[in-house]
């Protein structure tokens, strides 16, 4: 079975708004519902779980009912950081009876423009290579800076991958990684792929992401998201 694990445990403090960003409405629909609809529409995703900011569980279920997200099966409580929220979701799935060899697509709730092709590529790569991390090659020149103000060091962009989500693993494998991280005292890795990298010893398979698969973090991201949702591809483009 293939499961989507949508991480919606953040409070969105960087956005500076009255409600968490995943619950803001774009085109009269909450961002988290746009995200869930991508998995709802994919034939090879069998169920959806949401890791939710405490106190918002009823809101998630109500929105799912309103927008006919029939694949939503579980809602787990978020943690104090992203790593803890993902861990809560992973072990929640195991406690719910999911199997070690089931595939779990871990995805940010605030990446609502996820394409069906990216979902398909994640599932296929995970089944063939044992994992999948969505990413895109870096096009910008990269400088390294200790303070964010000054730099004298450049990093070759040819080796740089900007990771996105989904990040996809067999359920048992990512659960074991979280147990090992706890044993080693790794508590605040920023994503599943960085956690795997910190543990070492596992080659991760990169699948092609998209510049449209943006993560909504700032007000500017909201403006870009709304523009992307309302733009039509030029007919002359190949």
On whether residue 238 sits in a domain, the answer given is no
On whether residue 66 sits in a domain, the answer given is yes
On whether residue 127 sits in a domain, the answer given is yes
Q: pLDDT grade, residue 87 (50/70/90)? A: very high
On whether residue 216 sits in a domain, the answer given is yes
On whether residue 169 sits in a domain, the answer given is yes
d(CA 115, CA 228): 13
On whether residue 132 sits in a domain, the answer given is yes
pLDDT at res. 18: 76
pLDDT at res. 19: 85
Q: Which CATH number is 44's domain given?
A: 3.90.550.10
pTM for this predicted structure:
0.94
pLDDT at res. 98: 97
How is residue 175 written in tokens? 């659960």
Torsion of CA 70, 214, 58, 19, to 10 degrees: -150
What percent of the chain stands above pLDDT 70?
Answer: 97
SS (H, E, C) the chain: CEEEEEEECCCCHHHCCCCCHHHCEECCEEHHHHHHHHHHCCCCCCEEEEEECCCCHHHHHHHHHHCCCCCEEEEEECCCCHHHHHHHHHHHHHHCCCCCCCEEEEEECCCCCCCHHHHHHHHHHHHHHCCEEEEEECCCCEEECCCCCCCCEEECHHHCEEEEEEEEEEHHHHHHHHHHHHHHCCCCCCCHHHHHHHHCCCCCCEEECCCCCCCCCCHHHHHHHHHHHCCCCCCCCC
pLDDT at res. 197: 95
Domain count, the chain: 1
pLDDT tens-place string over residues 134-174: 999 999 988 889 888 989 888 888 889 999 999 999 999 99
Residue 23: domain span: 2-229
d(CA 132, CA 159): 18
Average of per-residue pLDDT across 181-187:
94
pLDDT at res. 47: 98
21: nearest Cα among 223, 164, 213, 231: 223
pLDDT tens-place string over residues 49-85: 999 988 899 999 999 999 999 999 999 999 999 999 9
pLDDT at res. 17: 76
Better-scored residue on pLDDT, 126 or 17? 126
Q: pLDDT grade, residue 13 (50/70/90)? A: low
Q: pLDDT grade, residue 29 (50/70/90)? A: very high
On whether residue 237 sits in a domain, the answer given is no
pLDDT at res. 12: 62
On whether residue 104 sits in a domain, the answer given is yes
């Amino acid at each position: 079975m293939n499961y989507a694990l949508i991480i919606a445990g953040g409070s969105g403090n960087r956005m500076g708004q009255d409600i968490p960003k995943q619950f803001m409405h774009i085109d009269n629909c909450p961002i988290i519902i746009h995200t869930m609809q991508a998995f709802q529409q994919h034939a090879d995703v069998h169920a959806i779980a949401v890791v939710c900011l405490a106190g918002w569980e009823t809101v998630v279920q109500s929105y799912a009912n309103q927008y006919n997200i029939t694949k939503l099966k579980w809602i787990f409580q978020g943690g104090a950081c992203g790593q803890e929220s993902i861990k809560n979701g992973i072990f929640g799935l195991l406690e719910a009876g999911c199997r070690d060899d089931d595939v779990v697509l871990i995805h940010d709730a605030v990446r609502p423009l996820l394409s069906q092709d990216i979902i398909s590529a994640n599932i296929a790569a995970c089944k063939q290579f044992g994992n999948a991390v969505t990413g895109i090659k870096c096009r910008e020149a990269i400088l390294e800076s200790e303070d964010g103000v000054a730099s004298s060091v450049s990093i070759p962009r040819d080796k740089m991958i900007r990771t996105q989500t989904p990040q996809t693993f067999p359920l048992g494998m990512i659960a074991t990684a979280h147990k090992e991280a706890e044993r080693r005292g790794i508590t605040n890795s920023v994503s599943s792929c960085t956690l795997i990298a910190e543990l070492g010893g596992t080659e991760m398979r990169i699948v092609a992401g998209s510049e449209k698969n943006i993560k909504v973090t700032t007000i500017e991201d909201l403006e870009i998201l709304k523009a992307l949702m309302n733009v039509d591809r030029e007919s002359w483009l190949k």
